[in-house]
Structure 1
Amino acid sequence: MQHQEYLTTFENLNEKLATEIALLLYFSTNSCNVGEALEPKVRSLLENNFPKIKFYNIDLNLSPEIAPKYNAFVEPTILVFFDGKETIRKSRNIGIFELENAIKRPYKLIFE
């Protein structure tokens, strides 16, 4: 199980986007029940199916300047980046199978 890693500044985020081939940004707050219930499922999906994608939390309350830049006002919002480009965006009612199917193709193109 990966440890919780929160990105709290643009500098952190831009550094990760520049250095990681693939990453998932998970925008939520600790007061969002849907976000809290979905997060372990998303982590598990990455660990089991897409281990090369790094998972990062962005708490909308702790990092208010990041959300507007990425239009992530609804929680939870998931953004997946490949090679520094936003490739997948899912918000609110996110199905884990739908997310898996969305990630599969770009992941295979880059890592296989």
Structure 2
Amino acid sequence: MITIETQEQLDTLKQENDALLVLFGGAHCGVCQTIKPQIFDKFSVKFPNLEMVYIDCEQMQEICAQHGVFSLPVVQVFFMGQKFIEEVRGFSLIALEQEVEKVFAKMNS
């Protein structure tokens, strides 16, 4: 999972990848640090075409604010540069996986 350090880097990844998952978290967010490897391990196997990146909101506050992220964790999933999915704070990784799967299925049909 790539760690994003600039808005330009994120914009480029949105343009270059058909599917991009962005995890907004923080070093002092226990939930963020717990789900980060779970998302990476599970989703990288199930969705090999899904690029995954991490943004540390404690370090990159401006990027997080530009994306409307004011609580942690937040997952945003972009397809073709457009945000399709957003999960905030208490969410189910299983439900997130199912949502991503639905969008991939629609894109491939």
Give the TM-score, by structure 2 length.
Answer: 0.93
Report the residue type matching 1:59 in the other structure. Answer: D
Q: Show the counterpart of 1:89.
A: 86
Structure 2, unaligned runs of 5 or more: none
Q: Does 1:30 align with 2:27?
A: yes
Aligned counterpart for 1:59 among listed residues 56, 61, 80: 56
Distance 1:69 1:100 in 2: 25
Identity of aligned residues (%): 24
The Cα shift of 1:111 comes to 4.3
The Cα shift of 1:5 comes to 1.2
Distance 1:62 1:30 in 2: 9
Structure 1, unaligned runs of 5 or more: none
Q: CA RMSD in A?
A: 1.2
The Cα shift of 1:109 comes to 2.3
Give the TM-score, by structure 1 length.
Answer: 0.91
Runs of 4+ with >3 A deviation: none
